[in-house]
Each structure stands twice: as C-alpha cells, then as structure tokens.
C-alpha cells in the first residue's frame, strides 16, 4: 500500500512549521512538489521553496520539502527550536544560481546540507558548498575513484569514503557548512517511510 503524508508520525510542531495539510503540495513558484498515493514528485527548477524564519541563524538545504519534513521528524531533538530555523528546497537538480541566491540572501548562516547518502548526494554536498563560497570545482568519477580539481590543485578520493569533511580537509577549506545524513538509508524519507510500513504490518 502506498505511503502518504498522513501515514507518517510527524509531530504537531513540524506540521505547523511546514503548514502541512491533507494535500501535500509545495509551491516553488514555477512548479510544484507533491506527495500522495501516486508517489512523490519533485520538480526540476531554477526556483526554490522557502520555509521558516528568514532571519534564522540555521539554514537547512535539501532537494525536497518532504525530505526536510522527514529529516526534522527524525531529528526533532536537535532542531527543537524551530523559530530559529529556515529550510530551502531546491528540486531534483541543484544549480549554481540557486547557491548564489542563498549566499546573497542568507549571509553568515550555519548551513546544513541534507542531500542524502549515495554518491550523487555526497558530490552535491561538495558542489553546493563550493558554490556557496564562490569556488569553482571540477568533479569526475571513474572506476570507484572521484577526482576533484580546484584552482591548480587536484585530489583523488575513494568513492565510498568521499564526504564534504574529507573534501574540506584535503583542500584546507574552512566554512560554516556541515552535512546531515540518515544512518541506514539513502534519504530521511526512505527511513521514515520504512518505519511507517513496519507499523502497518506489525
């Protein structure tokens, strides 16, 4: 049976933060994200979805609003002060112009990148962090080896061990960005859907 938003155990505080209703539809300006019995649709867009307090010190950046709902549901104890939190969803493809806008609109913020656990998501962590600092990086992947070039320097990473922290350490980069990952799944939504399906079958 398909999982819909009402099947998920989401706290009242998180529901209020995202203004959740029975229709899980989120407007990106030129397109919409939806999550219903037909599935989860996330747009590819140059716009963003923005929620929370624009003056908050902590900014969470994700692919989708529903992923942010799942992340905050699972990690509510870490982010219980929702008044000091903003969330930006970017859609399926993270673009440099979106990062440029975030850098200009949210200077000197603590930024949490929550793009998932697979290799594409971890590469997105690095691209997003680089663009937020106006750095240009080239990233390629072949035979379990990720090659990253920045300025005149090139470094090589094993695909399994590639993380934003490893990238920052190898290139001597300091910033106020960090990542948050689900422990056993590629996404927080997968984790919360798995927990919901177990409740329905127990």
Q: How many C-alpha atoms does 119 have within 13 Å on its Cβ side?
A: 14
Convert the pLDDT of each residue in 132-177 to its tens digit. Answer: 999 999 999 999 999 999 999 999 999 999 999 999 999 999 888 9
pTM: 0.91
Q: Determine contact, residues 140/146, Cβ cutoff 8 Å.
A: yes
Q: How many other C-beta atoms are found inside a 10 Å radius of the C-beta of residue 95?
A: 18
Q: Determine contact, residues 30/45, Cβ cutoff 8 Å.
A: yes
Convert the pLDDT of each residue in 42-80 to its tens digit. Answer: 999 999 999 999 999 999 999 999 999 999 999 998 988
Q: How many other C-beta atoms are found inside a 10 Å radius of the C-beta of residue 92?
A: 12
Determine the pLDDT at residue 3. Answer: 67
């Amino acid at each position: 049976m398909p999982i819909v938003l009402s099947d998920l155990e989401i706290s009242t505080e998180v529901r209020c933060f995202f203004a959740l209703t029975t229709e899980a539809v989120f407007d990106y300006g030129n397109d919409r994200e939806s999550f219903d019995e037909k599935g989860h649709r996330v747009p590819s867009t140059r716009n963003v979805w923005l929620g929370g307090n624009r003056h908050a010190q902590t900014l969470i950046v994700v692919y989708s609003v529903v992923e942010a709902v799942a992340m905050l549901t699972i990690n509510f104890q870490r982010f219980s002060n929702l008044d000091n939190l903003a969330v930006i969803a970017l859609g399926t493809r993270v673009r440099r112009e979106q990062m440029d806008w975030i850098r200009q609109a949210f200077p000197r913020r603590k930024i949490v990148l929550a793009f998932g656990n697979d290799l594409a998501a971890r590469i997105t962590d690095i691209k997003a962090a680089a663009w937020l600092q106006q750095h240009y990086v080239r990233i390629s992947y072949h035979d379990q080896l990720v090659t990253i070039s920045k300025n005149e320097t090139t470094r090589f990473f094993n695909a399994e061990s590639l993380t934003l922290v490893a990238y920052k350490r190898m290139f001597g980069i300091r910033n106020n960005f960090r990542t948050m990952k689900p422990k056993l799944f590629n996404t927080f939504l997968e984790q919360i859907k798995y927990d919901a399906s177990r409740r329905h079958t127990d």
